[in-house]
Amino acid sequence: MSNSMDKQFGRRKGDNSMSNLSFSWIAIFKDGSKMEQFENGKENLFLQVKSRFDDLVYFSLTNSKGKLFTVDVIKGLIGYNDLLLAYRDEHLQDKENIRLIYFRRHRVEIGEVDLQEKSHTITYHLGYQYIDKLGKNRQIVLQIDSEGNWILGE
């Protein structure tokens, strides 16, 4: 079911066509199987990955320009292309209960008078959370813009 905003901007609920997204995801599981967000002209929903979180090994975001961000959910590490992103020493320690963090944040600017979409930017949030040695929940999250520029936050 569409809402009035979807109708106003010509979008259907769940419309994440590749043309609207700069990055798409790839999930790799313990059994070696792989699931891509867009395969054979069809979109696999992230919900399918969530249902297999216990078997997830790597989760990656990639774009057509060759940028690749990968979360290793077994070791709790994030890579950028062929590099392992450097963290403070405490982040290289053993981690317990590692869980993937992934979501997109959409920012839409609407004209005040004509209520037409003036701009639409998407920021990708990719990382993981874990329990540290003191039993505290910690998060490491990258914020990635549509060009692949990123900042590391916690």
If we measure between CA atoms, which residue out of 139, 30, 127 comes closest to residue 78? 127
DSSP annotation of 66 reads S
Give the C-alpha separation, 53 to 73, whole Å. Answer: 9
Strands (E), 42-116: 42-43, 56-62, 68-72, 77-80, 83-84, 96-110
pTM equals: 0.78
If we measure between CA atoms, which residue out of 86, 82, 97 comes closest to residue 139? 97
One-letter amino acid of 40: N
Q: What is the pLDDT along the chain (154 residues), one digit of tens a residue?
A: 333 334 344 444 445 555 578 999 999 999 999 999 999 989 999 999 999 999 999 999 999 998 999 999 998 889 999 776 655 555 566 788 899 999 999 888 878 888 877 778 899 999 999 988 888 899 999 999 999 999 987 5
